[in-house]
Chain A
């Protein structure tokens, strides 16, 4: 009984702010995948930080932030947001495109503003605003750097992410950029954006190929595993490892002039912040904000690394 009463008290406390404010209060729902890997961890951090900042700045805005560990949970989250909080806008980074398309369409039908982040829905025209990173561009910038860092050409190995459209677009962009540059890709394997998996794959690459000039790890978590394997094998033939996404530890090493990590290519998890900020501006002001907002992938070098170093972020 005691639990029941305290439960009621909590429910009342939660409901109170919504009741106390006037009808002008608008609610923005933010639904994102849980922090299951480094990049998602950074994204969670920036989402929370942005929500805190905006709640301070705009008293007329209320936020509901939900993190989901699988697509089904995310669908439930979104349905709950509509049913219990009657959201005016939804910022969603879909776990997977297909299963989320229907539910988001329903939210759209209820009249709410829809912002889709990073992963597009499988049907066009649902979202009012689309904020995303540039995956082909990520591959292209990486490939161009690889070509410029190996002017004589060379032999490289490639670690790929989890088999997805994102990964395919990146690899295609990369391959297009190194075409005709005399760079031979010895092998490509999936490291699933995971340190341990990348460590294992790289160990096997090292056993398989006696001469490797460089590694495109394509992600900083994988770069950590790759570096561990190279270090353990004591191989000196590898000149450098190119990661990606801009993990703070890796950007720091580039900043400090580490020869093994001469560069990085951004794919900022803070894009969720961009999406929430723009959505909020759209709700509180007259500024038109619909359309596509593509965040370019930038090459990080020792010269500009300081700009991309966020010591407070977990990623």
Chain B
């Protein structure tokens, strides 16, 4: 940023352009390396597989903007998936394998997600325990619970139910699958809430200075609690999309989703300390993360042993690109 002719406006733009630039570079690199990269199938694959982390990351954007953190989302998703499968399987004998059972399963997922999110939120706001500690604890609890529910193995959805439920992941309208549609809807709602509602502004206010927010008559605890509850609900929605894909849940489900979601949020330009959040940035972050994995699979460019290193380097690079403008 030594360019003397570039005053303030350009600096601000860099924080905006950083993640987009990284994404565009990745897409160009991908298109050059493999002709199938921009094919319809590959594009829908990438978008659909981004949906789980993406839906969760939108919720995470609000939590982080309000100065919080949630490490439990990956285990929570695994637990909800396990619970959902158990409930649906147990209803098959009495209700038969039909749409009502699937609807009940979905309701269970949403309720369980909401309850889990509220529990995290209440422990954090009412008891005043650090978010890091509370969610570290619940991460372990949910991970153990799903292992216990599955008896150490894998919970599989009843076969007839599975084929009935599968369209929720694989089906869609006009060739666009449901996970992509739901992801898009969640993003649009998230963006509107963050930008144009009191709730979004309160999140940012709390994250940048809790005391000032309190004196400005923002109901700090309530807003915080709502961010965790919303995140829990979104985890429930993501799980509803996840279960029909392979129809199973095990202790390996949702492994490290929390870190991917947090990384996506930060790559997207939301400040980890809170105070500023950008929902569309989070979407870019999620796409960058998924694309890296996709690209590495589509090319034989680097040894698969180095996948993690490449991902790490790109994450850091994307954040450096943003800081360029801000730091000086």
Contact = CB atoms under 8 A, between A and B. Distances in A.
Interface of A: 34-38, 40-42, 44-45, 160, 163, 187-190, 194-196, 199-201, 203-208, 221, 224-225, 228, 232-233, 249, 313-315
A103 B210 CA distance: 49
Contacts of B150: 41, 314
Contacts of A228: 245-246
Bin chain B's interface residue count: 20 to 34
Contacts, number: 94
Interface in B32-51: 34, 36-37, 39, 41-42, 45, 49
B160 interface: no
B153 A42 contact: yes
Interface stretch (B87-95, B228-236, B273-281, B293-301): B293-301
B96 to A, nearest CB: 23
A188 B296 CA distance: 12
A190 B304 contact: yes
B305 A36 contact: no
B76 to A, nearest CB: 16
A200 B298 CA distance: 11
A34 B250 contact: no
Interface in B284-308: 293-294, 297-298, 300, 304-305, 307
Nearest to B147: A35
Given A35-B251, A204-B298, A207-B41, A189 B304 contact: yes
Given A38-B153, A314-B152, A224 B294 contact: no
27 contacts: A35-B251, A36-B251, A37-B251, A40-B152, A41-B150, A41-B151, A41-B153, A44-B152, A160-B304, A163-B304, A195-B246, A196-B253, A199-B246, A200-B297, A201-B297, A204-B42, A204-B294, A206-B41, A208-B34, A228-B246, A249-B156, A314-B150, A314-B151, A314-B153, A314-B154, A315-B153, A315-B154
Contacts of A232: 170
Contacts of B147: 34-36, 41
Contact of A45 (B152, B245, B255, B294): B152
A160 B250 CA distance: 20
A288 B167 CA distance: 59
A207 B118 CA distance: 41
Contacts of A199: 245-246
B252 interface: yes
B246 A205 contact: no
Contacts of B170: 232
A163 B305 contact: yes
Contacts of B152: 34-35, 40-42, 44-45, 314
A194 B252 contact: yes
Contacts of B253: 196
B215 to A, nearest CB: 42
B248 interface: yes
Nearest to A209: B36
Contacts of A190: 304, 307
A41 B154 contact: yes
Interface string B251-280: 111010000000000000000000000000
A204 B297 contact: yes
A163 B153 CA distance: 22
Nearest to A186: B300
A57 B300 CA distance: 56
A195 B252 contact: yes
Contact of A233 (B41, B252, B255): B41
Which of B49, B153, B305 gathers the greatest number of chain A CB atoms within 10 Å? B153
Nearest to B49: A200
A37 B78 CA distance: 13
Contacts of B305: 163
Contacts of B307: 190
Nearest to B290: A200
Contacts of B41: 206-207, 233
A86 B298 CA distance: 54
Contacts of A249: 156
Interface in B127-156: 147, 150-154, 156
